[in-house]
Structure 1
């Protein structure tokens, strides 16, 4: 299995694509790779493969997106320990074709249980519209994203399938590790992004610190569904030519089983500008909830939904510290993306009664 883009050879790629192109009997004669998404994807290495074959073929992809472990050793070691690389491979192997959310076509999904290496070869969607998360999600795109999210959540609400997908951890898996590691992560976050941490955000983090594990336990209680875990604008393409399925969602490394509003809170809190979120958050939450009920969810009140949304925002404190305190931000685009996430999440949290929510934890 290739461990880096430059290790993807014509011979290896021919064998890897053979099951998908069995009827074609084509041979890869040349493959060139170029790194992409620098400063956008923190957790893995991404590259676009340009592929040539020994004969013409309509079904053989001329370009592919390759995803491999991060070349940044601390990031790679952390995410391997957390199991996120294996998780995304299992998602494409078992789930992608079963959900009402469009994902990139997957040509290869392979994980080595001994080396913990992995590789994904995905459909190249680079021609689609891909808005800049640092600029912020447009309101119409946000409406589409929350409606599509509700359909996903509703389709697997308390489903028996969640028990079969044992590679997808419950929300509180590793909660004690998060709790014990959070103070160090938070310290590094402040060191890495000192000007981005407001006094109010710092106070909220101090309140959350003793309750990191309890918040995760709260979000793992039924009713639960399959959560994307990293539902943000940078992980979306918009196909404006396809009215039936215009949204394509990728990067499923953080998929977990938990309370549905986490994905919504993360998306609204991290992907919209502060001004747009303040102006439209209430309506977008109402759109999501109505779509969830329309998808068949019952016995889930608006009050319970609002409470879950608040706890999800509190959980974002530890997630923000995990990302900002551990992953690689070695260029300006990556740094700006993280600074934007910090400031937007902090502002969203400022509208939450954190003291009341924490006081009501078991």
Structure 2
């Protein structure tokens, strides 16, 4: 897409800038924007970026009545994490080059721009405010979870066996160099995490974390031997939006692709069920949900034995959500009480799942 000046913050998103950006992107026939009203949305949901709804008034012509403006976090520590992990550039590249090939309901992307090696980026997207969202701490109900699982299976099936190519080397894998570096940091992060959030961990959580802190990289390498697909890597309910009709083909819209990656499908499934439903509901419905995922991805043509799915799923619980909870809890500026509560719930839920399944039995370390 064509490039114009990237706003440093929401104060630089003016009516004139928005009109220029939309016309430089997909809205070539946009009318003349007279004024906009910006309102921040989703505060405390994401720690890496900020979202604003721009309600638009036109002096002539027509166009979207509102768009979503995505900008980087204004917290210095979070912005640096986004730079170090390549997350800002990755989301722009996803919308520019991968979205059209991805079987998932995505917001229409009107315009993207980023500056390599910096936190400077902006994405203008469709306003999906008519869809509903679920508070992650509350957790999805069973019907919402089933809809999210069907959406995830379609996403994975559309890229199954197609991501280990030269063209997609820019998409980080679960054994990317940054994961090696993260493994080296795990013991330090674990020491930083425990004083803040150790009290929320389930029985056996500290002992499990002690083991994982020194075995993380070896465990990841074993996990990575399973078949690969495209991963969202942050497939949790705060990044999902639900239609009223949960049985509709596109009942779930998937947002926030900053963490897009490559690796075994079990990662996204474990991350969803490990963090976006209560521990009690996961334990009650887990077997049903795993079979729903397996039935759907098999229906879509993927040859994936249920036994292999289960192994990948449990292994992913060991190395996935636990690590995200520790990283964010140890180092990120969580911004407000909701952010702190979110990370606390992640720690409680994501550590409970691998303990419930005795996840260490699936590794040789």
TM-score by structure 1 length? 0.93
1:257, distance to aligned residue in structure 2 (A): 0.3
1:82, distance to aligned residue in structure 2 (A): 0.5
1:342, distance to aligned residue in structure 2 (A): 1.2
The answer to whether the Cα contact below 8 Å between 2:27 and 2:110 also exists between their aligned partners in 1 is no
Kindly indicate whether residue 138 of structure 2 is the aligned counterpart of residue 104 of structure 1: no
1:234 aligns with: 238
Kindly indicate whether residue 27 of structure 2 is the aligned counterpart of residue 21 of structure 1: yes
Kindly indicate whether residue 248 of structure 2 is the aligned counterpart of residue 247 of structure 1: no
Pick aligned residue for 1:313 from 317, 320, 326: 317
2:302 aligns with: 297
Q: Which whole-Å deviations, capped at 9, do the CAs of 1:21-73 have from their partners, x for residues lacking one?
A: 2234x23232232222111111111111122222141xx11211111111110
2:227 aligns with: 223
Pick aligned residue for 2:182 from 170, 174, 178: 178
The answer to whether the Cα contact below 8 Å between 2:270 and 2:313 also exists between their aligned partners in 1 is yes
Q: Which whole-Å deviations, capped at 9, do the CAs of 1:176-233 have from their partners, x for residues lacking one?
A: 2111211222222223224213451111111112221122223333510001100111
The answer to whether the Cα contact below 8 Å between 2:240 and 2:253 also exists between their aligned partners in 1 is yes
Q: 1:119 to 1:82 in 2, by over 3 A?
A: same
Q: CA RMSD of the aligned region, Å? A: 1.8
Pick aligned residue for 2:116 from 113, 117, 122: 113
Q: 1:357 to 1:114 in 2, by over 3 A?
A: closer
CA–CA distance in 2 between the matches of 1:38 and 1:345?
A: 23
Q: Which runs of 5+ in 1 are unaligned?
A: none
Kindly indicate whether residue 140 of structure 2 is the aligned counterpart of residue 137 of structure 1: yes
Q: Any runs of at least 4 consecutive aligned residues in structure 1 with deviations exceeding 6 A, and if so which?
A: none
The answer to whether the Cα contact below 8 Å between 1:172 and 1:219 also exists between their aligned partners in 2 is no
CA–CA distance in 2 between the matches of 1:207 and 1:331?
A: 31
Q: Which runs of 5+ in 2 are unaligned?
A: 1-5
The answer to whether the Cα contact below 8 Å between 1:156 and 1:226 also exists between their aligned partners in 2 is yes
Pick aligned residue for 2:362 from 341, 357, 360: 357
1:80 aligns with: 83
TM-score by structure 2 length? 0.92
The answer to whether the Cα contact below 8 Å between 1:52 and 1:62 also exists between their aligned partners in 2 is yes
1:277, distance to aligned residue in structure 2 (A): 0.7
CA–CA distance in 2 between the matches of 1:114 and 1:352?
A: 40
Q: 1:292 to 1:244 in 2, by over 3 A?
A: closer
Kindly indicate whether residue 194 of structure 2 is the aligned counterpart of residue 190 of structure 1: yes
CA–CA distance in 2 between the matches of 1:172 and 1:39?
A: 29
Kindly indicate whether residue 321 of structure 2 is the aligned counterpart of residue 326 of structure 1: no
SS in structure 2 of the partner of residue 193 of structure 1: helix
CA–CA distance in 1 between the matches of 2:36 and 2:185?
A: 42
